[in-house]
Amino acid sequence: MKRRFLWGMLLAVAVVAASPTPACADGPGPVFGVIASTQGSPPDTAEEHIRQYDRHRANYGGPIGIRIFSGGRLPLPTDNNRPGRLLAWAADGHPEETITVSHKTRDDARLRRLLDWAHVRKLRLSIIYRHEAQPDWFEYGQQGARPDVYRETYRAYRTVIRAHPGRERVTLEKNLMWFWQYHHVRTKPESDWRWYVERNDPADVLSWDTYSFPGMPTRQGHYATPHDFFRYARDAWKEFRLPWGVGEIGTIVQDGDGKGVEQSWDPDGTRFTAWVGRIARAARNPATIDVSYAGMPPARFVKWWGALDADDQDLSLEQVPAAAAVYRGLMRR
């Protein structure tokens, strides 16, 4: 994509300088990270994941987090498959990182084995069952994502984690999809996030996957506002006092050039660069969005999608070097 690089870099400096000191209710503010995974080309093999991780780690200059997706059970480092190999690699090469593991098949005994292994190595884990769980999954026969099954699985996992000696280094994370809530709840009331959350919820944190484009109509002429993205996290905080995070975030830059681009109202990427800073400030201090966010704590984390999606559309910060520079500054704080 064509960029006005010098102007963008000057804007990046201005955005970082304007970022306020975090106003925190529960901690110092978000941990900013990058998801080193790809759903597009080249295929998301273990080797490609490691290559992406190394590239992002070099670019951003420090820990970025490790996210491992499993289409079945929780991985173990002895598994001879992509998730298992990545788990072993993460433990051996990057024990300083938090390893977030998403999986789809409940297995309490396997969770205990994973916790045993991580405890010996003093690794930090975040466990997600059925990320983006809402009805668009279970309508296609994935019964494990039904709200009653989903809630029961989290209760069982909490029992396992609470009884384990390594529990202080384990986070139980629920992950929902902003898009399905935002667009589908009128026609599919069962998409409402409240089906997946309960009072005294067993999860430690509720994260949301948030994408501007694809997702929103590009004719609106702007990227998603912080209120667009964070309103449901606010509501869950108010109703259930659930800490929150941004599990995934990204967008196609609307610069008129590239796969999936529909508009050209951001030809040099300066609006995208400013948007990255705006979203980061809102995640750090939600009260700056509007008065309805007063008292809401900062996000625990923000994780930017770092590569192509399943349609080979680029959602990463690297579409605009100045935006990557803004994010790099956030990560180093």
Measured CA to CA, the distance from residue 255 to residue 317 in angstroms comes to 14
Which has the higher per-residue pLDDT, 166 or 10? 166
Measured CA to CA, the distance from residue 118 to residue 169 in angstroms comes to 9
Give how far Cα 130 sits from Cα of 5, 18, 115, 159, 258, Å: 40, 37, 18, 18, 31
Displacement of CA 166 from its chain's centroid (Å)? 24
Using the predicted structure, report yes or no on whether residue 2 has a pLDDT greater than 60.
no
β-pair type (66-69, 98-103): parallel
Q: Indicate the number of domains in the chain.
A: 1
- Number of helices and strands (H, E) in the chain? 10, 8
Q: What is the CATH number of the domain that holds 269?
A: 3.20.20.80
Whole-model pTM: value is: 0.91
**Domain interval for residue 173:** 5-331
Cβ-proximal residues to 109 (8 Å cutoff; 6+ apart), any chain = none
Measured CA to CA, the distance from residue 16 to residue 21 in angstroms comes to 11
Residues 264-313 have pLDDT tens digits of 999 999 999 999 999 999 999 999 999 999 999 999 999 999 989 989 99
Measured CA to CA, the distance from residue 286 to residue 296 in angstroms comes to 6
89 SS3 class? helix
**pLDDT tier for residue 323 given thresholds of 50, 70 and 90:** very high
Of 31-45, 72-86, 247-261, give the lowest mean pLDDT range: 31-45
Residues 232-276 have pLDDT tens digits of 999 999 999 999 999 999 999 999 999 999 999 999 999 999 999
Using the predicted structure, report yes or no on whether residue 7 has a pLDDT greater than 90.
no
Using the predicted structure, report yes or no on whether residue 10 has a pLDDT greater than 50.
no
Q: In terms of DSSP H, where are the helices of the chain?
A: 5-18, 46-60, 82-93, 108-121, 135-138, 147-162, 178-184, 226-240, 270-284, 321-331
